[in-house]
Amino acid sequence: MACPTVSWGCILLLLCFASMGDAEYMKYKDPKQPVNTRIKDLLGRMTLAEKIGQTTQIERTVASADVMRKYFIGSILSGGGSVPAPQATPAMWVNMVNEFQKGALSTRLGIPMIYGIDAVHGNNNVYNATIFPHNVGLGATRDPDLARRIGEATALEVRATGIPYAFAPCVAVCRDPRWGRCFESYSEDHKIVQQMTDIILGLQGEIPVNQTKGVPYVAGKDKVAACAKHFVGDGGTHNGINENNTIVDERGLLGIHMPPYYDSIIKGVATVMVSYSSVNGAKMHANHDLVTGYLKSKLRFRGFVISDWLGIDRITSPPAANYTYSVQAGINAGIDMVMVPFNFTRYIDDATSLVNKSIISMSRIDDAVSRILRVKFTMGLFENPLADLSFADQLGKKEHRELAREAVRKSLVLLKNGNTPNQQFLPLPKKAKRILVAGSHASNLGYQCGGWSIEWMGGSGDITVGTTILDAIKSTVDDSTSVVYSENPDDSFMKKNDFSFAIVVVGEPPYAETVGDNSDLTILDPGPDTIRNICSRVKCAVVIVSGRPVVIEPYLPLMEALVAAWLPGTEGQGVADVLFGDYGFTGKLSRTWFKSVDQLPMNVGDPHYDPLFPFGFGLTVNSSQPGFSEARSHGDKKEITVCVALSLVLSMVLTFDLGIGIFQRGAALL
């Protein structure tokens, strides 16, 4: 039988098609392949320019689809207050993010970028988002499950804007309330901070039982990559000065400041952000021993390490004095992604030159890119790079606001209730003839939310959608009760009016970071005068809205009740819920309340511990009986003494347990 004649041209053409078919299969694009296989395959295809681009994070104001294409940018962020438009809708956010993403996908290898935002107490940059209490309040709840549920809600509201990455949680252990970031810390006690890292499980999803410790985990499209920050010791800076030096021995560093990172890593946190501060004089952004030696090698963290905003610039003093050195020191220390955020071409040029000169090794760059790709693959960004509006209805959702309201209720700490040993002042009666509500923070949503709310520094007035404490009081009292509001009434006003009682709401103005550093810790003027003028003439409950304990001792004898409300966020109704007895007080101080700033720093267990209200203090009330139940007034010296004694005993136990705990944590990770 004769064979058909086949031309060599046909054979070559068939071979060409077969070759093209083989070339089209790229392992990194196959979700069925193991993550490590995908990383290795993609890394092997990348040029140096593509690798350096992946390590670069830029601000949205300098980003464009063309920039993404040209420089292979790996990440974009919104700085505090950086939005596509005032009061931008979810659709505006999604469209903006997708426009950038399309630029990234149009590159040779189509590596998706990851967009990050500071969602530190809800998606707080975004208008109409639910703004939860800041961490200082959540620490007072001592409720890890609440933190987890807040993480779940926050993830949904971040995804509503098309964003898959949140720079949260802050797991700093604030040891001095003069520090401007203290409101971002859950507690002065590392054990409370460790418990509250359950928020990571809400943000990223419950980690599988068989998950390898240290490997990042993000459950799906309704979750976001989280970021434990700021590594490490930022809460211990000398005299509470932001970006300052933390002077600490190894026992203090590993026993106080490091434990929340153990828990964060065990819970699969995707990223870790490095602190601006120094440890014993060594800048953290250049600290190879702690970033690479401890975080990556000892704790076996496999996600990526990101710098803070212009963080590598601050390696030198003044910042950016020797930028090339800063790039070298930062990347060689172990930073994988650099938050530039504006002058990214200089960073790219310097990093490229340093690699070409072998000052930064290619293996260090490959490690950085591998970690970034691991997070992106784990998140499913390669399969679902573009955002849509399927989560748009989650922004400011009623259920989320109810959750925030619950968090407010649980965060309130009752510090005083009555001026006599057997008579409590709270809860307040809903049926009263005439109530005065006063103070700078009673009808100011911006003040209520604090810093990192719509703008980086926060703001004043109706900055977003929410309920002020004044509006909450009005909606809670009986219809027959007259509620009169006067921010700072004078003597004549008080003489002309007959009030059943007064609620005075005062505190701190909004602030963030270094702007919040404060050596005085006084209430915002005219707060002290407002307390004096009102509480000397009518029985009053004072509500403090602040990011930390403030000076209050001089005014205590004037007031019938004192409540620490911290920074409650948008849902002020939670404050009224507890003031008027619909719910009880359950919050306990997660921070020591000092008598005088001269005592600072002062934490539970210190030899000179002599607080106004000790760590763990918090009264309860019995709303069914006119007298005290287990509640005691501030004047009960015996209870204060017992609380202090118990706190000191607890501290000694914790200290004794510290060494064992460190080794147990290390063994668990290993």
What residues act catalytically? 308, 513
DSSP letters for 104-118: HHTSSS-PPPEEEE-
Tokens for 308? 């803070």
546 contacts 518 by C-beta, under 8 angstroms: no
Give CA separation, 43 vs 50, 74, 380, in Å: 10, 14, 17
Nearest alpha carbon to residue 397 among 159, 556, 135? 159
Q: What is the DSSP letter of 47?
A: -
- Which segments of 471-593 are extended strands (E)? 482-485, 501-507, 540-545, 561-564
Query: Would you give the DSSP letter of residue 132?
Result: P
Q: In this structure, are strands 338-339 and 114-117 parallel, antiparallel, or unpaired?
A: unpaired
Would you report the helix, strand and coil content of the chain in percent, each value rounded to 5? 40, 10, 45
Phi and psi, residue 544, nearest 5°: -100, 120
Describe the strand order of the beta sheet including 304-306 as a list of residue ranges: 227-231, 271-274, 304-306
* Cα→Cα distances 398→88, 401, 402, 464, Å: 19, 5, 6, 15
DSSP state of 649: H
SS3 30: coil
- Residues paired with 507 in a beta bridge: 545
Pairing, β 278-279 against β 282-283: antiparallel
- Name the one residue in this structure whose structure tokens are 């921070």: 591
Strand positions, DSSP E, 192-346: 227-231, 245-246, 271-274, 278-279, 282-283, 304-306, 338-339
Here the tokens at position 251 are 């026992």
Measured CA distances, 182 to 139, 188, 454, 668 (Å)? 12, 9, 19, 30
Cα 155 to Cα 334: distance, rounded to the nearest angstrom: 28
Nearest Cα neighbor of 150 from 138, 164, 161 is 138
Q: What is the 3-state secondary structure (H, E, C) of 231-265?
A: ECCHHHCHHHCCCCEECCCHHHHHHHHCHHHHHHH
CA distance linking residue 75 with residue 650, whole number of Å = 45
Supply 216's token pair.
């990042």
